[in-house]
Structure 1
Amino acid sequence: MTTIASVLLRVNPPRLPEVRDALARMPGLEVHAFTEDGRVVLVIEDAPGASATDTYQGLHGIDGVLSAFLAYQYCDETPLQEQPA
């Protein structure tokens, strides 16, 4: 199964550097935008050894993250590498 999700984070602005470092270590996560007032736009995909759901749930445990809003989620039963081009 393939899962792709778009997530909006709200981060305590003074904690933004630590949150940015924590996000960089999370599997299947790509940051698309940061603002200085603490808004962050992410895309999460399934990754080897980590589902998009697990990664999303992990966002709530990062110090400095005030909220995580799941804006969009797509699931497909066909693994990404097997989908036709």
Structure 2
Amino acid sequence: MHEELHIASLVVHSTPARRNRVAATISTLAGACIHAVADSGKVIVTLETSTADEMTLRVAEIQHVDGVLSAALVYQCADRLDVMNEELSDAPT
């Protein structure tokens, strides 16, 4: 069986007053990276996991963080890790 890489991005909505605490909590989750925190309460997050089940669990963990109003999945990609690490030629085909 081949090792996989799952990548997802989410927009997490919280109240403006709790945005920094929400971002700090999410940043402690394995594979989570915070890219932006807006004054309005939006938090931009990417997740990397090795299985679909782990991704589902991580999204559910974010949805249950105190102060999160919603977590919307924006993008998800999954492929074998060896394929993701292939070098692509810049030469025209």
TM-score (structure 1 length as normaliser): 0.83
Q: Do the aligned partners of 1:7 and 1:70 also contact (CA within 8 Å) in 2?
A: yes
The answer on 1:14 being equivalent to 2:20 is no
Q: Once superposed, which parts of structure 1, at least 4 consecutive aligned residues long, lie more than 2 Å away?
A: 50-53, 79-85
In structure 1, distance between residues paired with 2:66 and 2:43: 15
**Gaps in structure 1 of 5+ consecutive residues:** none
C-alpha contact (below 8 Å) 1:9/1:68 kept by paired residues = yes
Which residue of structure 2 aligns with residue 73 of structure 1?
76
Look up the SS of the partner of 2:21 in the other structure.
Answer: helix
Matched, 1:84 2:82: no
Shift of 1:35: 0.5
- Report the CA distance between 1:73 and its aligned residue: 0.5
Among the aligned pairs, what percent are the same residue? 28
SS in 2 for 1:51: helix
In the other structure, the counterpart of 1:24 is 27
